[in-house]
């Protein structure tokens, strides 16, 4: 079925006992040795780094993005699998998807249980990811996990330790894997991809601030004072806060800070319904509503916009474009 390149970055799928807990330790070849290969697939391994994914930085993620593009420069490659820690997998997968312009599939996967355990899920997830990378085309970046296929856009980690760790709470399942077959149920919605960004000497700071009862602008203002060039405001409900936070957002935008608005609610879109500090006022103050994207992926969208342009107005346009979905959600057969 093809030649697949596996890019290894660490995570639980590569973790072993360290005396007091588990940590990424194994290289990509060791991880690959745990999994059976689908028929007619050959695998090459790229050991990029081996870290627990909470320790990933923007520099790590941009290095991964560039490595994906370098691997796909070889026309003999049929697809890519990225093994990754689950804690920040949704961020890295979405970053790659925002810049993915190739019909060949990039599939992220990982594990909830460390390698070598009798009930480990890593080998099965890796097999499924290889099969998905080899047999699908034109779907962008995918996540194969727990027998399911998810689009990178909108998919988040919904279970801290359960094996079925990922889902898009706002959309129906994208596909499923079983008995050596990948079945896609619909096509993911994706906007036009962004160009590959340069590797900055110092990546822009992008912070997240969550609203809650008694919430005030202190943390948002502190982020601006700390040099944040982008802020993701995590509102309540459909994307709401207070008049005081609206004023802080307006001031931040006036200073050239790119502000995105999402919600702490698990599913559903940010919607301009309420005033008196609600999404109506926050958007009027210059915040960009992120639809159904939750905070970690909204932050990645802001980061990509900041890397793509220097003018704040153009950054806002790029962010809006990155949030748009133009492809209809239709049934497809793979």
Task: Indicate which residues carry an active-site annotation.
Answer: 12
Task: Supply the DSSP symbol for 12.
Answer: G
d(CA 178, CA 156): 22
Furthest C-alpha separation in the chain: 61
Quick check: 170 and 182 in contact, CB under 8 A? no
Whether the CA torsion 121, 124, 126, 129 is positive or negative: it is negative
Quick check: 238 and 268 in contact, CB under 8 A? yes
d(CA 80, CA 45): 10
Residue located via tokens 């060039």: 229
Helix locations, the chain, DSSP H: 28-32, 58-72, 89-98, 122-135, 218-225, 243-254, 279-284, 295-308, 312-323
> In a 10 Å sphere around its CB, with 0-12 CB exposed, 13-18 middle and 19+ buried, how is residue 33 labelled?
exposed
Quick check: 210 and 264 in contact, CB under 8 A? yes
d(CA 272, CA 207): 23
Q: Which residues pair with 66 in a beta bridge?
A: none
Two tokens, residue 320: 């809006």
Q: Bin 311: left if φ > 0, else alpha if -120 < ψ < 50, else beta.
A: beta
């Amino acid at each position: 079925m093809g030649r697949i390149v596996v890019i290894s970055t660490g995570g639980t799928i590569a973790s072993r006992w360290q005396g007091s807990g588990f940590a990424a330790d194994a290289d990509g070849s060791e991880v690959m040795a745990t999994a059976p290969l689908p028929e007619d697939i050959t695998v090459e391994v790229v050991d990029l780094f081996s870290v627990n994914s909470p320790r990933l930085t923007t520099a790590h993620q941009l290095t991964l993005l560039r490595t994906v593009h370098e691997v796909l420069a070889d026309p003999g490659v049929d697809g890519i699998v990225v093994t990754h820690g689950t804690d920040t997998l949704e961020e890295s997968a979405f970053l790659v998807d925002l810049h993915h312009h190739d019909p060949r599939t990039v599939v992220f996967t990982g594990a909830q249980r460390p390698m070598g355990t009798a009930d480990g899920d890593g080998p099965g997830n890796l097999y499924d990811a290889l099969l998905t990378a080899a047999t699908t085309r034109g779907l962008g970046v995918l996540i194969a996990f727990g027998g399911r296929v998810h689009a990178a856009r909108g998919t988040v980690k919904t279970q801290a330790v359960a094996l079925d760790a990922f889902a898009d709470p706002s959309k129906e399942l994208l596909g499923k894997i079983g008995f050596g077959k990948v079945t896609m149920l619909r096509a993911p919605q994706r906007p036009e991809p962004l160009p590959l960004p340069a590797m900055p000497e110092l990546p822009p700071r992008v912070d997240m601030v969550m609203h809650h009862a008694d919430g005030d602008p202190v943390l948002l203002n502190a982020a601006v004072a700390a040099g944040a060039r982008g802020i993701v405001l995590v509102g309540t409900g459909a994307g709401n806060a207070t008049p005081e936070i609206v004023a802080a957002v307006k001031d931040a935008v006036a200073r050239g800070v790119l502000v995105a608005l999402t919600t702490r609610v698990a599913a559903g879109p940010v919607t301009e319904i309420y005033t008196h500090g609600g999404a109506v006022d926050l958007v009027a103050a210059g915040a960009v509503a992120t639809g159904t994207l939750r905070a970690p992926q909204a932050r990645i969208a802001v980061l990509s916009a900041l890397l793509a342009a220097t003018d704040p107005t153009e950054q806002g346009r790029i962010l809006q474009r990155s949030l748009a979905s133009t492809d209809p959600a239709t049934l497809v057969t793979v």
